[in-house]
Structure 1
């Protein structure tokens, strides 16, 4: 399909909305029922589903770190990258806003106490990991994720139709390990959405979840480039 830039941006907006709403929603609305493992699968399954729902339109980046990595390695134009990133951030903000409205329908919900699935380090880390540890985790986890994204979508990869499965399972995998550290971002848009509404430490530490994933995305792309023979 030769989609227009507007169609691609709408797809990225919708895909990011679903990722953030389902992923952070699993933590905010269902966390006490499904636990960390359930939250990990919520993020992974949402990406898997979106790959097949919008992948043929936009490539299903739904993550500025992916878009920037794709731009750096010549898989997307600068014009498209800017439109993608804007759409991704707006989709994440809308998802967080709607999630907040739903969460407030529960009598004992408090934004200050219960949060909105925001990422954190230090005192706001799920298991109180320091800022430096959180930054390192975001870089390493995003590196792993982007190697899978680049590799599974490469023209040299057999059975490319299964890329969505590999990407979804990879996101689940890194969430299983990383949720106790930062809540796992590996996606600046996913972090920006909740942070805007929560404020405070979520905004103060937001740079960790922008810089870490972008650096990890570039490293992951560079590692993939070392062994890709296209």
Structure 2
């Protein structure tokens, strides 16, 4: 019996993982009021940990199936770094966007059943800049911080999943998850923290308004940051010898160590 994951298995893993990441992460932000003007510092801690712990848990659960990307930027960085076949990228991206949209839809429905929560005025935990930013960060500032933090995120991911790094299957997801938590601590007041186009698009689609008109920033900046990290990793730290040969031709026949 063939125990190797099929393309369908990997699609399901990416849809589920992205759904859980967005639902729990954005859900924590919305339920604690982290994006409200009167947000308490503990709300930021709760939200940051929710995102980080979700990545840790889901990467541990389904990383063996798809690599546990849950993020179009991670997929792009992995492909640029030679860790993933380019032919796999479109299906990964579609799976992740679907997962993010399903999570946004679920949150929108749940919040809509509340008599005390108005999505139009209280939002959907969407990312933003300018008036949509807690500190009023500019467009340029949003682009820089999102690209920079995504690049750092990808460098960490590529490093802890490098075959030369003696990190266990438990410690790698933990390092990645805690890095995402730290990223949230450093940027939630600025943009609400994206570093993940699927995380941004799901809530923005249902929030509409400024959230949807600004969502392009949270596609462009993370993808640019991921590409920079993917290109520069080998120059900075050397190419992972496990990927000295060309990446597999068949979609999804990549090592599951890419995240």
Normalising by the residue count of structure 1, what TM-score does the alignment of the two structures yield?
A: 0.96
Match of 1:56 in 2: 64
RMSD of the TM alignment (CA)? 1.3
Superposed displacement of residue 79, structure 1: 2.8
Match of 1:86 in 2: 94
Match of 2:137 in 1: 129
Match of 1:95 in 2: 103
Match of 2:190 in 1: 181
Provide the rounded CA distance (Å) in 2 between the counterparts of 1:31 and 1:149.
30
Match of 1:150 in 2: 158
Deviations 1:11-64 (A, max 9, x none): 000000000000000011223685111111110000000110100000000000
Point out the more displaced range, 186-195 or 26-35: 26-35
Normalising by the residue count of structure 2, what TM-score does the alignment of the two structures yield?
A: 0.86
Match of 1:21 in 2: 23
Q: Is the 8 A contact 1:5 1:80 kept in 2?
A: no
Match of 2:221 in 1: 212
Q: Is 1:200 matched with 2:214?
A: no
Q: Is the 8 A contact 1:29 1:103 kept in 2?
A: no
Runs of 5+ consecutive residues of structure 2 not aligned to the other structure: 35-39, 242-259
Q: Equivalent residue of 1:29, what SS?
A: helix
Runs of 5+ consecutive residues of structure 1 not aligned to the other structure: none
Provide the rounded CA distance (Å) in 2 between the counterparts of 1:107 and 1:4.
44
Deviations 1:94-135 (A, max 9, x none): 001101111122211111111111000000012211111011
The structure with the greater share of residues assigned to helix is 1
**Whose relative contact order is higher, 1 or 2, with alpha carbons under 8 Å and at least 6 apart?**
2
Match of 1:8 in 2: 10
Query: How many pairs align?
Result: 230
Q: Equivalent residue of 1:160, what SS?
A: coil
Provide the rounded CA distance (Å) in 2 between the counterparts of 1:78 and 1:144.
22
Provide the rounded CA distance (Å) in 2 between the counterparts of 1:224 and 1:173.
21
Q: Is 1:114 matched with 2:122?
A: yes
